[in-house]
Structure 1
Amino acid sequence: MDSTHAQSFGDNPIEVRETDHYKHEYIEGIADKWDELIDWDTRAKNEGDFFISALKERGVKKVLDVSTGTGFHSVRLLKAGFEVVSVDGSADMLAKAFENARKHGYILRTVLADWRFLNRDVHGEYDAIICLGNSFTHLFKERDRRKALAEYYAMLKHDGLLVLDQRNYDTILDHGYSSKHIYHYCGENVTAEPEHVDEGLTRFKYSFPDGSEFHLNMFPLRKNYLRRLMKEVGFQKIETYGDFQETYHEAEPDFFTHVAEKRYVPDLEEEQN
Structure 2
Amino acid sequence: MSQNVRVRSRGTLNPTASTDSVDLRHQVFGDNPLEVRDTGHYTHEYVGGIVDRWDELIDWDKRADGEGRFFIEQLRSRGVRTVLDAATGTGFHSVRLLDAGFDTTSADGSPQMLARAFRNGIEHGGHVLRTVNSDWRWLTRDVRGPFDAVICLGNSFTHLFSEHDRRKALAEFYALLKHDGVLIIDQRNYDAILDGESSSGRTYYYCGAQVSARPDHVDEGLARYRYTFPGGDEYFLNMYPLRRDYLRGLLRDTGFQRIDTYGDFQETYADAEPDFFVHVAEKRYREESDLTGGA
**TM-score normalised by the chain length of structure 2:** 0.90
Quote the residue 2:105 is aligned against.
85
Quote the residue 1:61 is aligned against.
81
- Residue 135 of structure 1 and its aligned partner are, at CA, apart by 0.2
Cα distance in 2 between the residues matched to 1:69 and 1:80: 19
Quote the residue 2:12 is aligned against.
none
Structure 2: gaps spanning 5 or more residues:
1-20
The amino acid of 1:264's aligned partner reads Y
Quote the residue 1:28 is aligned against.
48
- Residue 182 of structure 1 and its aligned partner are, at CA, apart by 2.3
Cα distance in 1 between the residues matched to 2:290 and 2:58: 39
Question: Which one of 209, 215, 235 corresponds to residue 236 of structure 2?
Answer: 215
Quote the residue 2:169 is aligned against.
148
- Residue 29 of structure 1 and its aligned partner are, at CA, apart by 1.5
Quote the residue 2:69 is aligned against.
49
- Residue 268 of structure 1 and its aligned partner are, at CA, apart by 4.4
Provide the aligned length of Structure 1 versus Structure 2: 273
The amino acid of 2:104's aligned partner reads V
Taking a change above 3 Å as real, the CA distance of residues 153 and 247 of structure 1, as seen in their structure-2 partners, is same
Question: Which one of 159, 165, 170 corresponds to residue 186 of structure 2?
Answer: 165
- Residue 240 of structure 1 and its aligned partner are, at CA, apart by 0.1
- Residue 27 of structure 1 and its aligned partner are, at CA, apart by 0.3
Cα distance in 2 between the residues matched to 1:176 and 1:191: 20
Cα distance in 2 between the residues matched to 1:74 and 1:106: 10
- Residue 9 of structure 1 and its aligned partner are, at CA, apart by 0.4
Quote the residue 2:210 is aligned against.
189
The amino acid of 2:252's aligned partner reads K
Taking a change above 3 Å as real, the CA distance of residues 7 and 271 of structure 1, as seen in their structure-2 partners, is closer
Structure 1: gaps spanning 5 or more residues:
none
- Which has a greater percent of helix? 1
Q: In the alignment, is residue 117 of structure 1 matched against residue 138 of structure 2?
A: yes
Quote the residue 2:227 is aligned against.
206
Contact conserved, 1:69 with 1:94, CA < 8 A, in 2?
Answer: yes
1:212-235 deviation digits (Å, cap 9, x = unpaired):
110000000000000000000100
Quote the residue 1:5 is aligned against.
25
The amino acid of 1:196's aligned partner reads H
Identity fraction in percent: 64
Cα distance in 1 between the residues matched to 2:219 and 2:27: 22
Q: In the alignment, is residue 249 of structure 1 matched against residue 270 of structure 2?
A: yes
1:6-42 deviation digits (Å, cap 9, x = unpaired):
1100000000000000000000321111000000001
